[in-house]
């Protein structure tokens, strides 16, 4: 799963030309803030099992790769295969028993929670402001 910010390309290009170190710093700061936000309560959906255990595998699967200074970009996302289904929603077979949750499915469609989109939306203005600050230096 990958979400890209759009509309800031000219700004990011100017920043890269000015200083790749500054670009890497802005990118590292913003990726780290997004990573920290998903680890906080409410940042990533966490399911509960019938026996009272709390899930959290999706939250634990978040990974971030920071820029290494070679002009490359960074990335933050989830490694669990089911992450897109939680993000965007999914259909399911009513009545099917799922051992992992100990239940039969009752809904034909589960709405997406858009947790990654919400995180990106929350970071968008911060990222833009950070880029503008670096351009003014």
The DSSP letter of residue 118 is H
Average pLDDT over residues 8-34: 77
Residue ranges in 40-114 assigned as alpha helix (H): 57-60, 83-88
Rounded Cα gap, residues 109 and 93, in angstroms: 9
Which pLDDT does position 135 carry in this prediction?
78
Contacts of residue 128, Cβ cutoff 8 Å, sequence gap at least 6: 8, 11
Which pLDDT does position 73 carry in this prediction?
80
Report whether pLDDT(112) > 80.
yes
Rounded Cα gap, residues 61 and 38, in angstroms: 10
The DSSP letter of residue 86 is H
SS3 49: coil
Report whether pLDDT(94) > 80.
yes
Are the beta carbons of 22 and 132 closer than 8 angstroms? no
Instruction: Note the pLDDT tens digit of each residue in 46-90.
Output: 876 656 667 788 999 999 988 877 666 889 999 999 999 999 999
Contacts of residue 37, Cβ cutoff 8 Å, sequence gap at least 6: 43, 119, 122, 123
């Amino acid at each position: 799963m990958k979400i890209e910010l759009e509309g800031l390309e000219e700004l990011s290009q100017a920043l890269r030309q000015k200083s790749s170190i500054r670009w890497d710093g802005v990118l590292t700061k913003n990726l780290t803030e997004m990573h920290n936000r998903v680890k906080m309560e409410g940042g990533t959906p966490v399911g509960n099992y019938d026996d009272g255990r709390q899930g959290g595998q999706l939250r634990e699967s978040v990974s971030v790769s920071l820029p290494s200074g070679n002009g490359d970009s960074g990335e933050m996302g989830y490694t669990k295969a089911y992450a897109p289904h939680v993000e965007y929603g999914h259909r399911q077979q009513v009545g099917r028993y799922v051992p992992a949750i100990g239940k039969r499915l009752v809904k034909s469609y589960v709405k997406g929670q858009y947790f990654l989109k919400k995180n990106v939306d929350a970071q968008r203005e911060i990222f833009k402001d950070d880029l503008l600050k670096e351009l003014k230096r």
